[in-house]
Amino acid sequence: MITAERKPISEIKEMIAPYRKILVVGCGSCVAECAAGGEKEVGLLSSALRMDAKASGKEIEIKEITLDRQCVYEFIDHLAEIISQYDAVLSLACGAGVQAVAEVFPKAPILPALNTTFLGETKEAGLWVENCRGCGDCKLGVFAAVCPVTRCAKGLFNGPCGGSKTDRCEVDPDVPCAWQLIVTRLEDMGQLDLLRKVHPPADWSKQQGKGPRKIIREDQRT
């Protein structure tokens, strides 16, 4: 999933300062799972903004709504009937959701309430960890489902750097050495032979070299 964190309230207050009627829009998918932009967080943020406005004598009107997904047009369409009643949208989606809403409503100010961070997993309650950088050429099949692009501090494809100590990364001892994990898993699966292959440098153009990437699936187009 895509993870995000809420911006500091001072930054949000500064963004919405020119507006009186604000539509606060959450997203019920990834950012709800990471407790940054779901229905609950929309409620908490809206209450905080209302209280702050009251305390500072500012007149403000806030409506809360949470879409199932803010990056899919059929859900964004739920805003069509109400958006014109508001001066601005404060979006608690990831950057993709914010931009998708802005494309559908080109005249409305769409403001981001979150800082989008990384693709990751929920490790335990309250802990999310990055595990994929969307490189566009997934090699998890040869690296025992441990991503060296993301989880090795040096992004090494052909074995460890030699600096790890007691299975910890030399760059950050709080983090397990990705290559220790790769070797251990391959050993456990009896697939150490996979490491005989020498991997060429990654083709980073698949990740970020040619502007925004696209996926086109003719079988999904109607």
Bridge partner list, 114: 6
Which residues, numbered 49-68, are part of the site for ligand SF4 (CB under 6 A)? none
Q: Closer to ligand SF4 at the Cβ: 50 or 139? A: 139
Residues in 132-151 that interact with ligand SF4 by CB under 6 A: 132-135, 138-140, 147, 149-150
| Total Cβ atoms within 10 A of residue 128 | 20
What is the distance between the alpha carbons of residues 113 and 198, in angstroms, rounded to a whole number?
44
The DSSP annotation for 179-199 comes to HHHHHHHHHHTT-GGGGGSPP
CA distances for 119 relative to 40, 103, 149, 158, angstroms: 22, 23, 12, 24
Minimum distance, C-beta of residue 104 to ligand SF4, in the bound complex (Å)? 29
Q: Answer for the pair 64, 43: CB distance below 8 angstroms, yes or no.
A: yes
2 part of the interface to ligand SF4, by CB under 6 A? no
Of the candidates 9, 51, 171, 192, which one interacts with ligand SF4 according to CB under 6 A? 171
CB of 158 to ligand SF4, least distance (A): 10
Q: Which position among 13, 153, 185, 199 is part of the footprint of ligand SF4 (CB under 6 A)?
A: 153
Q: Which residues bind ligand SF4 (CB under 6 A)?
A: 132-135, 138-140, 147, 149-150, 152-154, 156, 160-161, 163-164, 169-171, 177-179
